[in-house]
Structure 1
Amino acid sequence: MKKRILRWLGNIIALVVALFLILAVLEVAVRIFIPQSSILTVRDRYIGRTLKPNMDVHLQGSDWASHLWTNAYGWNGNTFPVEKPGHIKRILHIGDSLVEAIHVDTDKNFVSQLEQHMPGTQQLNLSVAGRGTFLELLTYRHYGRSYNPDVTVLWFYTGNDSRDNYVTRDFIKGISMEESVIEEPQLGILKTFLLQKLRLPRLIFEKGKDNPLFLWLLVRTGLLSTEPEELNRDIPLGLATTIVDTPERALAMEVNEKLLVAMKKEVDKGMLVLGIIPSLLEMDLRTTPELIEKYPVLQGKKIDLDFSQKRIAELAEQHGILVFNATPVLRQALLDGKKPYLEGDGHLSQEGHDIIAREFKAWLIAHNLP
């Protein structure tokens, strides 16, 4: 009996050791072969995270490769003096990953191109992936204002900004807009080790974070302390706050309007412009039947691929904010057989950056800006 117990114990130990070795090999493989965007950022007490300062790295994805460098402040681009030179006009760009643009070379994203093709201007890119409008407002408050911009462009990505703003609705209600510090959630020792120190768990989380079953498992195992908005939903929140007529979308638009008004009040130096970048999903009218096939619950629902970008533009204009909407030019590019988006993840391709740089430059000149 004792020998049998020892044999079973030995088998269990061998299994645990083998599993540990397999996971260790996978962790090493992930570190070597799979680029991780999370290692590009550092903690920031005001806006959560920024890119690492003075970084110079080469990145690669399934359908893109880029050379990314950052300045001394942790923004994508070259270092610039905080004090604006007297003969220079500054245009500040604040957005999420679409404008942060790690998928193309730093000197080829549309912000850099604008500076190259508009002599006498400095185009500063203060964009960080994963931002909603509230964090972008804080970015202006704590960093953008000090650069004394002549024009501030708030870039709104209709693919997920409404969702991000909807998720923060209770947070925004519960605090004053004067609140300025973003507290990072406190994790236990095990959670910290798994989700912050190791790359394999982070990769698994990134790949599965939009899967309700995966999120349910994380909640049940204690790795997520509260149930995410996506759980127990028939319609994904990203669709419910953009192209599908739902109560969530109506509420998201109310939050969007509140944040736009707050941003206009916040920008007390120069002029505020709202730039709108639509998602690839919203560009293709053939998307609707495919969505209904994937989500049968959408059958009979009112789906409007253009609603989000049109409504956001209307809200901004109602409050006296100038709007540049990239939807028409990007849709025309697709109709012309061009590929302004990366097929793998929907970010702007090099062609997309070229298009926005060209069109936004023309728009600025037409509006006598800066």
Structure 2
Amino acid sequence: MTESLVNLSIILVSTLLGLALVEVYLHVNGFSYPSLYVMDEVMGHRLRPGAEGWFREEGEAYIKINNDGWRDRPHSKQKSQGTKRIAILGDSYAEALQVPQENTFWSVLEKELNACHAFGNMRAEVMNFGVSGYGTAQELLALQDRVWQYGPDIVVLAFVPGNDVRDNSKVLSLSQPRPYFVRNHGSLILDNSFTESPSYRLKQSGIWSAVGEASDRFRILQFLNLVLNRVNQMRRRSFQQSEGVAGLEPGLDDQVYREPAGTEWEEAWRVTEDLIVNLRDEVISRGARYLLVSLSSGIQVHPNSVIRASFVGNLGVSDLFYPERRLHKLGEREKFDVITLAPQLLDYAENHQAFLHGFKSTRLGHGHWNEEGHRVASQLIGRHFCS
């Protein structure tokens, strides 16, 4: 064997040994960053069936994605006799990776509806179809493409004003690779050109899928995925700040609290309202019942009135409930039920001096609902059905 081959062998063995040691270290220290998503030609992305692992980015929970690709227990496509099925459409708030599954608002809601006999002798079965990063466009497409297979009797749209309005705009969301609808002479036209993007094609490749599956077994691949996502998040955040679209919290936009006037935000709102109404029409055409539930952001329900007042003053608005008023008016105009949780959650937060968003491991008052936030939200939604 030549000296160069010997040196190459030493380098190779040393590298493999180093990687093995890193893998053992990550295992011993309980590191987990599961690969939860795959690309989808209809919705842009979806949860990966069978994926599981600990999520500790915000809060902590062991995540298991069922074989149909939803964060929920398995549900048969065939509805059991004497069952009233409720489908929850939503984004990361409904996906709720931050808390154990049994503490999510949709899981607690099912227990409450059955305890109050909301549907008489019929058993309530609440099914979660929330996926992180979804806007209303993707939720409509998910309903059409996958959710109707389960035959829901009630469809609940869990709407997050803080990012759903932006996510429905190709301009405001900085052309993230996902499907969009655009208004054209009073109609919504689907733009699914994301399927032609290089990033989509790369992530649809067999190699990318193989790496995703291999990450279930190798922590070092999960660590590399974490680093890659961190870099992308920092780059996106930096770009949003340079474009003036970043909000108080990463992933949310402060502009939604302002009444838009002839801006891109007004167009985003109009597309959003059209999508909400189209979703209502889709549900009614199937003989099901429709309910829009508007969720909250951390600053809207922050228990410290001084912090809220400072934010309101800096933003130059009278309060943080413009989205809720607009959604209520839309419901009145289009004749569908709307529950706006933010004002009610604020009352609870102030009366109990409770943080409903955030975690001690990250930052209280920011981010997604914690377990108390999910619990109180489920109670407020439950009143709509139990009263």
Task: State the TM-score, normalized to the length of structure 1.
Answer: 0.75
Give the drift of 1:363. 1.3
Cα deviations across residues 98-157 of structure 1 (Å, max 9, x unaligned)?
111111111221111122333301111000000100000001001111211110001101
Residue number among 204, 210, 234 corresponding to 2:230 in the alignment: 204
Cα deviations across residues 182-240 of structure 1 (Å, max 9, x unaligned)?
626323979x999998425523335414533xx3xxxxxxxxxxxxxx36534537545
Determine if contact 2:301/2:356 at 8 Å carries over to the other structure: no
Of 161-170 and 171-180, more deviation after overlay is shown by: 171-180
Determine if contact 1:241/1:248 at 8 Å carries over to the other structure: no
Of 343-352 and 81-90, more deviation after overlay is shown by: 343-352
| Root-mean-square deviation (Å) | 3.6
Residue number among 271, 276, 281 corresponding to 1:265 in the alignment: 281
**Take 1:141 and 1:33, find their aligned partners in 2: how far apart are those partners?**
39
The SS at the match of 2:326 is: helix
**Take 1:136 and 1:181, find their aligned partners in 2: how far apart are those partners?**
18
Residue number among 44, 50, 53 corresponding to 2:49 in the alignment: 53
Determine if contact 1:341/1:352 at 8 Å carries over to the other structure: yes
The SS at the match of 1:154 is: strand
Determine if contact 2:92/2:130 at 8 Å carries over to the other structure: yes
Identical pairs, percent:
22
Determine if contact 2:70/2:128 at 8 Å carries over to the other structure: yes
The SS at the match of 2:332 is: helix
**Take 2:92 and 2:278, find their aligned partners in 1: how far apart are those partners?**
22
How many correspondences in the alignment?
322
Cα deviations across residues 336-366 of structure 1 (Å, max 9, x unaligned)?
2122111535101001111111221121122
Q: Which runs of 5+ in 2 are unaligned?
A: 1-14, 115-122, 213-220
State the AA in 2 paired with 1:121. Answer: A
**Take 2:155 and 2:331, find their aligned partners in 1: how far apart are those partners?**
14
Q: Which residue of 1 aligns with 2:195?
A: 183
Give the 3 Å change call, closer, same or farther, for CA 304–250 of structure 1 in structure 2: farther
**Take 2:193 and 2:79, find their aligned partners in 1: how far apart are those partners?**
26
Determine if contact 2:301/2:346 at 8 Å carries over to the other structure: yes
Determine if contact 1:159/1:242 at 8 Å carries over to the other structure: yes
State the AA in 2 paired with 1:58. Answer: W
The SS at the match of 2:88 is: strand
Q: Which runs of 5+ in 1 are unaligned?
A: 1-19, 216-229
State the AA in 2 paired with 1:71. Answer: N
The SS at the match of 1:173 is: strand
Q: Which residue of 2 aligns with 1:329?
A: 344
Q: Which residue of 2 aligns with 1:346?
A: 367
Q: Which residue of 2 aligns with 1:281?
A: 299
Please say if 1:160 is aligned against 2:155. no
**Take 1:30 and 1:291, find their aligned partners in 2: how far apart are those partners?**
44
**Take 1:240 and 1:103, find their aligned partners in 2: how far apart are those partners?**
23
Please say if 1:356 is aligned against 2:356. no
**Take 2:225 and 2:63, find their aligned partners in 1: how far apart are those partners?**
20
Determine if contact 1:283/1:305 at 8 Å carries over to the other structure: no
State the AA in 1 paired with 2:298. Answer: L
**Take 2:312 and 2:244, find their aligned partners in 1: how far apart are those partners?**
13
Determine if contact 2:356/2:373 at 8 Å carries over to the other structure: yes
Residue number among 251, 257, 263 corresponding to 1:243 in the alignment: 257
